[in-house]
Amino acid sequence: MAPLKPTWTQPSHPSIQTVIHGQNSSQEYTSKSVSKISLPPFALYAKMAFPPCTPASEATYATVQCGRDAHLNLNSDLVYINHSCEPSVIFETSTLSILAGPKGLKEGEELTFFYPSTEWEMAQGFDCLCGTGSCKGWIGGAKDMGWEGLKGMYLNGHIRELLEERDEERKGKMNGKTKAEEDSVVKMLGVSVEQAKKAFEAVEQALEAYKRNTSGKVSGIGSVRENGIGSRALIDEALLVVR
């Protein structure tokens, strides 16, 4: 990625944040942020205030998602906070706050947050190299991550809502399929029952016809055959109805 051209006066948060710009071994532009302060767990680190924040119409590498359809441009050095699977801070978007993580924050510690905790969709996922014990590996927007990849992580309200909807939708699709399958089984069995009914009626009719043809004749089947109407023939004829 090309270096982000700041539109703001740097440093934007000189009392709490040091931004380190550099290049990695592949000569790619990199940047990271380090905390200048120590904080207890969940204490307020910084506010995402307006200004400098401005609403953004869509997600970019310089925005944070703060609602189902709401994004904001940070317009400050806070944009240089990288992703980690064991983040040191939390972007709590409902109160536009950046909080110390569950372990608190130490002076000199890198500032990181868990990208899918705010981002539903990400233009491009990436293989995380955070190197932490609980690294999730591939990181995309929450939409594209399974529950396994999100387990144990702080997630903002809009992400939780969207995940619930995603799961409901998936469940609905699955139920829909089962329902269609059920319908087709019911239909198939219904046809079989109808066929069985017809076959039963045909056999009954054949039996009646056989009885009528043999009544009063002492020679039984032999004489029926002589009349050219055998019981098998009658049954076969009756069964034609159902074939």
Least Cβ distance, residue 40 to Zn ion (angstroms): 25
Q: Which residues ranging from 114 to 153 are in contact with Zn ion (CB under 5 A)?
A: 128, 130, 135
Torsion on CA atoms 99, 101, 105, 110, rounded to nearest 10: -100
Does position 82 bind Zn ion by CB under 5 A?
no
Nearest one of 88, 131, 79 to 110, comparing CA atoms = 88
Out of 39, 85, 162, 206, the only residue in the binding site for Zn ion (CB under 5 A) is 85
For Zn ion, the closer of residues 45 and 115 by Cβ is 115
Least Cβ distance, residue 11 to Zn ion (angstroms): 27
Least Cβ distance, residue 152 to Zn ion (angstroms): 13
Q: Which two tokens stand for residue 106?
A: 């130490």
Q: Which residues ranging from 146 to 205 are in contact with Zn ion (CB under 5 A)?
A: none
CB-neighbour burial class of residue 20 (10 A; exposed 0-12, middle 13-18, buried 19+): exposed
For Zn ion, the closer of residues 135 and 203 by Cβ is 135
For Zn ion, the closer of residues 56 and 159 by Cβ is 159
Interface with Zn ion by CB under 5 A: which residues? 85, 128, 130, 135
